[in-house]
């Protein structure tokens, strides 16, 4: 057989094998999905071509839905408001498995080793752990903070050691559940403060922060030294002044830490608070357009993008972390609900709910790079989250 013939035949075999599996081989590093909150759909997207490539329906009530990824970044676990938990294959663009795990849920997380998916629930208040492969229920931890009294759970995040940290809105506590034995979780409790509304884990997995709604301050738990208990940082940041009304709760996640500092939404003040991420002392604050909802650092930590609660949700502001000043005030669309940076941060995708559009911005030139139509988009989730703790 000639050399050319050999090459031809092996090429043919590759093509035929590809045809057998029904799709070309590809990775998932530049994929993600956009939640369509009102229609129970997700739109699958490609951040290289900046396009949607598939749409999947039948996911129930997706208002406030959130998504985590398997560690191979192939499967998305979508937590719906109605308690639905759906596992979606990004490559085959199909639902692999779907269960109803509670009556009213508010997101979830995936363990450090990728084997356990945990949902956090409002009703009944608590968390539930599922096998990431099969979605079979492994165990649950009811948020019963006093005999017969259950709390809504917020701020669930995975932390090192196959543990999950979360906060009890009604109970005012931070709980850390250890799932080393997935069927027998062991939970430790720490006092947090009044009405924790969300939580985050720093990118190194060391600190858990719970933002407080009922008082000025943030509860901080050092997961390396949990026996010291939680303490308050940024206490009394409101200086006793009357709070402005909050028309939407802010959201916290590990993207808040950048350039050695934590950038956090104030509650009832049109400010972003800055704390030194080593001493946790306040180092400054930035006046912004409205009540911040997402205060999100670019992957390199140079920029902080901030969106706002109603009625300022048509605005997005960009803070330069070097100067601590607002350098851009943008109007990407109507009702900007969420933002997500591409893995290395050259672009940010924004969902403009009331424009039924996802808009993509260049983070250097602050100009739109493109957009596409999506029905009432809310959360945007890229697979780069798969490799991050606390997401």
Partner 1 sequence: MSNSRLLSALTAVLLGCPAMPALAELPVARQKELVHLVRQDCGSCHGMTLRGGLGPALLPATLADKPAEGLVATIIGGRPGTPMPPWHRFLAEGEAQWIVDQLMAGFPE
Stated length of the chain: 391
Determine which residue in the list 75, 77, 79, 122 makes contact with partner 1, applying CB under 8 A.
Answer: 122
Q: Does position 303 bind partner 1 by CB under 8 A?
A: no
Residue span binding partner 1 (CB under 8 A) among the ranges 183-191, 228-236, 245-253, 381-389: 245-253
Determine which residue in the list 45, 209, 220, 246 makes contact with partner 1, applying CB under 8 A.
Answer: 246
- Tell the smallest beta-carbon distance from residue 37 to partner 1 (Å): 7
Q: 143 in helix, strand or coil?
A: coil
Residue span binding partner 1 (CB under 8 A) among the ranges 110-118, 139-147, 156-164, 243-251: 243-251
Size of the site for partner 1 (CB under 8 A): 28
Restricting to residues 167-186, name those near partner 1 by CB under 8 A: 169
- Tell the smallest beta-carbon distance from residue 215 to partner 1 (Å): 11
- Tell the smallest beta-carbon distance from residue 105 to partner 1 (Å): 9
Cβ neighbours of 316 (radius 10 Å): 26
Q: Does position 270 bind partner 1 by CB under 8 A?
A: no
- Tell the smallest beta-carbon distance from residue 256 to partner 1 (Å): 20
> Is the Cβ–Cβ distance between 345 and 361 less than 8 Å?
no
Determine which residue in the list 29, 96, 99, 104 makes contact with partner 1, applying CB under 8 A.
Answer: 104
Q: Does position 335 bind partner 1 by CB under 8 A?
A: yes
Choice between 86 and 195, CB closer to partner 1: 195
Determine which residue in the list 31, 32, 69, 81 makes contact with partner 1, applying CB under 8 A.
Answer: 81
C-alpha angle 221-223-228 in degrees, rounded to nearest 5 = 60
Q: Does position 248 bind partner 1 by CB under 8 A?
A: yes
User: Would you state the structure tokens that stand for residue 79, as one six-digit string?
Assistant: 């937590």
- Tell the smallest beta-carbon distance from residue 63 to partner 1 (Å): 4
Determine which residue in the list 34, 73, 82, 321 makes contact with partner 1, applying CB under 8 A.
Answer: 82
Largest CA-CA distance found in the chain, in angstroms, rounded: 87
- Tell the smallest beta-carbon distance from residue 103 to partner 1 (Å): 8
Q: Which of 21, 20, 56, 17 is nearest to 35 (CA)?
A: 56
Q: Which of 39, 75, 71 is nearest to 58 (CA)?
A: 39
Residue 352 CA to residue 267 CA, distance in Å, equals 23
- Tell the smallest beta-carbon distance from residue 301 to partner 1 (Å): 28
Residue 267 CA to residue 244 CA, distance in Å, equals 8
C-alpha angle 192-218-314 in degrees, rounded to nearest 5 = 130
What phi-psi label fits residue 115: left (phi over 0), alpha (psi between -120 and 50 degrees) or beta?
alpha
Cβ neighbours of 92 (radius 10 Å): 13
Q: Per-residue b/e over 289-308, b at no fewer than 16 CB within 10 Å?
A: bbbbbbbbbbbebbbbbbbb
Q: Does position 150 bind partner 1 by CB under 8 A?
A: no
Determine which residue in the list 249, 259, 326, 389 makes contact with partner 1, applying CB under 8 A.
Answer: 249
CA dist 378 → 9, 66, 82, 388 (Å): 48, 9, 16, 21
Applying CB under 8 A, the residues found at the interface with partner 1 are 37-38, 61, 63-64, 81-82, 104, 106, 122-123, 152, 154, 169, 195, 197, 213-214, 245-249, 310-311, 335, 353-354
């Amino acid at each position: 057989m000639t050399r050319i013939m050999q090459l031809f035949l092996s090429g043919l075999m590759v093509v035929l094998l590809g045809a057998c599996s029904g799709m070309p081989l590809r990775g998932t590093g530049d994929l993600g999905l956009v939640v369509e909150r009102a229609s129970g759909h997700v739109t699958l997207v490609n951040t290289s071509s900046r396009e949607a490539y598939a749409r999947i329906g039948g996911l129930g009530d997706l208002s406030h839905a959130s998504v985590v990824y398997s560690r191979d970044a192939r499967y998305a676990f979508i937590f719906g408001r109605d308690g639905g938990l759906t596992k979606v294959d990004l490559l085959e663009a199909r639902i692999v498995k779907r269960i109803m795990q509670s009556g009213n849920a508010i997101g979830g997380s995936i363990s450090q080793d990728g084997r356990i998916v945990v949902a956090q629930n409002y009703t009944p208040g608590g968390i539930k752990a599922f096998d990431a492969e099969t979605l079979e229920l492994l165990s649950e931890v009811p948020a019963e903070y006093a005999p017969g009294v259950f709390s809504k759970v917020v701020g669930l995040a995975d932390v090192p050691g196959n543990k999950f940290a979360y906060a009890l809105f009604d109970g005012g506590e931070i709980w850390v559940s250890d799932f080393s034995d997935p069927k027998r979780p062991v939970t430790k409790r720490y006092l947090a403060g009044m009405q924790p509304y969300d939580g985050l884990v720093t990118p190194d997995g060391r600190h858990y922060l719970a933002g407080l709604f009922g008082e000025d301050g943030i509860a901080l738990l050092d997961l390396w030294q949990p026996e010291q208990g939680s303490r308050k940082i940024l206490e009394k940041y409101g200086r006793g002044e009357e709070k402005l009304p909050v028309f939407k709760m802010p959201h916290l996640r590990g993207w808040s830490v950048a350039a050695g500092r934590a950038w956090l939404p104030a509650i009832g003040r049109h400010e972003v608070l800055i704390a030194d991420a080593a001493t946790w002392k306040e180092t400054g604050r930035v006046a912004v357009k409205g009540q911040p909802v997402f205060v999100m650092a670019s992957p390199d930590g140079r920029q902080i993008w901030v969106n706002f609660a109603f009625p300022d949700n048509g605005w997005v502001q960009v803070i330069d972390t070097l100067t601590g000043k607002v350098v851009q005030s943008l109007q990407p669309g109507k009702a900007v609900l969420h933002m997500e940076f591409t893995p290395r941060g050259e672009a940010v995708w924004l969902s403009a709910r009331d424009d039924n559009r996802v808009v993509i911005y260049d983070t250097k030139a602050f100009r739109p790079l493109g957009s596409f139509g999506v029905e009432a988009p809310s959360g945007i989730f890229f697979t780069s989250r798969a490799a991050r703790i606390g997401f």
